[in-house]
A = this chain, B = another copy of it.
Amino acid sequence: MRKPRLMTPGPAPVPEDVLLELARPVIHHRSAEAKQVIVDAIAGLKEVFQTANDVLIFTASGTGAAEAAIINTVPRGKKAIVLNAGVFAERWVKVCKPYGIEAVSLDTEWGQAVDPAQVESALKQHPDAVMVIGTLSETSTGTGHPVDAIGKIVARTAAVFMVDGISGVGAMECRTDAWGIDLLVVGSQKALMLPPGLSFVSVSPKAWAAIDACPTACFYFDMKLARKKMAEFDTPFTPAHTLILALTASLKRMKAEGIENIWARHKLMSEACQAGVTALGLELFSARPAEGLTVFRVPEGLKDSQIRNALFDRFGITTVGGQDRLKGKIVRIGHMGYMDELDVISGLAALEMVLADLGFTVKPGQAVTAAQQVLIGQRAKMPAG
């Protein structure tokens, strides 16, 4: 027997009852029933995003929604400052190119958090920047960035603050309106506990003003068109409404647990996983870990594939390695969405055994014990059943 255990930082596990929603007969996307689904989905997303702003739904991966946010806001020939500290931030630099947007890449060492003071000086150096693009959780390095502090800085300027919250939202604190996030981009397959295929953008009045001033650069991702349709709880093109229906089920679970409790649960799982990993003598990669995943450096003498393959072959645990310049150097363990403390404990127990099998010096139980020490006495709520 090999039970599948998806411990990747997206896609993340989907609750069984949400999966069953996907098996319901397809309905027409312009029926009254489908409109009610959109109404419910938008209300739930606003709660999770902590925003009163408009929320648009795209049938696309998170990258598509991020592209929409960028190219609808920044006109050809204008500037966007990208807070670049990993693979995903770098992707937003690449998005700018074909649209003739000048991307000012503010580079931070991978694994380090973006320094808000640097953002402040970059904005002074580029007062003509239309947009600042930040990341809540940079999944490629497992780093959480101080979006709250950066938001305050950007809010004092004319620039629109876009945040890639694709893997972060729902897995760590994110207060869209309180933090001054003008465009929050989120994916379905992470802490929202859905399969991939949908993405979302929340849009502040400040962002809408910039979008209205920006010549339309695309068709499928045209946010002005999407706003018009969303006012009637509709989408411009046939959406993946099977996924939207399932989304309402996962949002119902999230509402029952409460967003503050969800954040607390992820924080706790994250601290427990970090404690376990470091108790094994492994080194955390990130100086400021995100809360939906834990990333450690591959120890001397081992290959990442040895660890990852052994986790999969023996325990059915899927993890991911490093991307780009981090290929072979790190292992990334996801604990976001439909995950609880015992999933983390199981993962750590498996890691201990696998490392021991590979000849790495491990005292059985040390990671699990360290994690338990974090968890004992805590009262994080479990996902509603």
**Known A10-B238, A26-B189, A29-B196; contact A98-B61, beta-carbon cutoff 8 A:** no
Q: Does A31 contact B (CB under 8 A)?
A: yes
Tally of this chain's copies: 2
> Considering the complex, which residues of chain A in the window 121-157 have a beta carbon less than 8 Å from any beta carbon of chain B?
none
Q: Is A170 close to B, CB under 8 A?
A: no
User: Which residues of A190-245 have CB atoms within 8 Å of chain B's CB atoms?
Assistant: 195-197, 215-222, 236-243
Q: Does A98 lie within 8 Å of B59, measured CB to CB?
A: no
> Nearest residue in B to A19 (C-beta to C-beta)?
B23
CA gap between A67 and B59 in the complex, in Å: 14
A281 within 8 A of B: no
> Is A217 in contact with B98, judged by CB distance below 8 angstroms?
yes
Closest to A240 in B: B197
> Would you call A364 an interface residue if the criterion is a C-beta within 8 Å of the partner chain's C-beta atoms?
no
Q: Which residue of chain B lies nearest to A61 when distances are taken between CB atoms in the complex?
A: B237
Among A46-63, those with CB < 8 Å from B are: 59-63
| Known interface pairs A26-B13, A196-B241, A240-B197; A220-B59 also in contact (CB < 8 Å) | no
A67 to B220, CA, bound (A): 7
Chain B residues contacting A220 (CB-CB under 8 Å) are: 60-61, 63-64, 67, 221
A180 within 8 A of B: no
> Which residues of chain A from 15 to 30 have a CB within 8 Å of any chain B CB?
19-20, 22-30
Beta-carbon contacts under 8 Å, A248-288 to B = none
Verify if A318 is at the interface (C-beta below 8 Å from B): yes
* Among B189, B215, B239, contact of A61 (Cβ-Cβ < 8 Å): B239
Q: Are B26 and A23 interface neighbours, CB within 8 A?
A: no
Whether the pair B62, A59 counts as a contact (CB closer than 8 A) is no
Q: Does A95 contact B (CB under 8 A)?
A: yes
Can you name 9 extra interface pairs (CB under 8 A) apart from A59-B64, A197-B242? A6-B25, A6-B28, A28-B318, A28-B320, A30-B320, A31-B318, A60-B220, A195-B242, A218-B218
What are 21 A-B pairs with beta-carbon distances under 8 A? A6-B28, A11-B27, A11-B241, A12-B26, A14-B25, A22-B22, A28-B318, A59-B61, A61-B239, A63-B219, A64-B220, A97-B216, A98-B215, A98-B217, A98-B218, A98-B219, A98-B222, A99-B218, A195-B242, A197-B243, A218-B218
Mark A residues whose CB is within 8 Å of B: 4, 6, 8, 10-14, 19-20, 22-31, 59-64, 67, 94-95, 97-99, 187, 189, 195-197, 215-222, 236-243, 318, 320
